Amino acid sequence: MSAGAGDVVVAVAQTAPGDDPARNRRTIEVLAEEASRRGARVVVFPEYSSFFSAELGPAYLEAAEPVDGPFVQHLRRLADRLDVVLVAGLVAVSSDPSRFENLLVAVAPGRGVVATYSKQHLYDAFGGQESRWIVPGPLAVAATFESDGLVFGLQTCYDLRFPEVTRTLVDAGADVVLMPAEWVRGPLKQHHWTTLVTARALENTIYVAAADHAPPVGVGCSTIVDPTGVALASVGDEVDALALARVSAARIADVRRTNPSLALRRYDVVPRPLDDGTSTGSGSDRE
């Protein structure tokens, strides 16, 4: 798949990360190589790509790495070799020894780490309590980077339920929002996932590229949605699979001429930080 002038081919990779970091890195390498062969310039991997276990707990603290640790070093070498941007979820060391940081890292060829994003909305819902083990990200400047003439924004999983996150990225200039996730299965959860991914693209007239864990843990259905809410490419329940689509600044401009909803809106996004980043949820299920 080749891209024309002003276009970028984006790939979402649907994987099943586990508790073996070396194996996770090998999976990323194989899929990144395939995506590159198929013309991708940006490849998005799921949340918790560096390490995943079914239960949040001490194992995550033991597996946490610094941003210049083995996982990101591997991404940097791979990005340089393949000449692609790689985005993936890192279990990262935090300033709190009892909790880790749920971090997205974007690595570009020849530039190294070009953006990071720490998950702002922790999954204290549907019986889960991520705040027990994860430090919430700061309400800071939107995490964006530029590649091939387009601006890409970063957000994570449960952030999808909060449209203000995506709108903040769009206000910062994002043309494409990249959304690594571990959207866990459950009643109506696949419906929630596909509906909300589509809504974030449609209401902001942008592209959304969302990469989830494969079943049986995640719902799968990794997808790339265009500014009119049309799914351009999707993966079903496959493990270690790719979906690729061409994203285009010209297409965004055309859609916004017909549907100028961003220009017509009458509200801004105002941050509302929590007192301590925790809530009253309990349990271990996540999304």
Of the listed 65, 101, 157, 287, which one is catalytic?
Answer: 157
Of the listed 119, 130, 182, 287, which one is catalytic?
Answer: 119
- Active-site annotation holds for 62: no
Residue 53: partners with Cβ closer than 8 Å, 6 or more residues away: 18, 19, 59, 60
Count the helix, strand and coil residues of the chain and give each as a percent rounded to the nearest 5. Answer: 30, 25, 45
**Sign of the CA dihedral 125, 131, 134, 135?**
positive
Q: How far is CA 102 from the centre of its chain?
A: 11
Written as six digits, the tokens of 34 are 């395939």
Of the listed 47, 65, 182, 287, which one is catalytic?
Answer: 47
CA distances from 73 to 48, 78, 87, 186, 188 (A): 16, 9, 13, 35, 38
Residue 97: partners with Cβ closer than 8 Å, 6 or more residues away: 61
- Active-site annotation holds for 189: no
Question: HEC string of 42-107?
Answer: EEECCCCCCCCCCCCCHHHHHHCECCCCHHHHHHHHHHHHHCCEEEEEEEEECCCCCCEEEEEEEE
- Active-site annotation holds for 157: yes
User: Where in the sequence numbering do the catalytic residues fall?
Assistant: 47, 119, 157
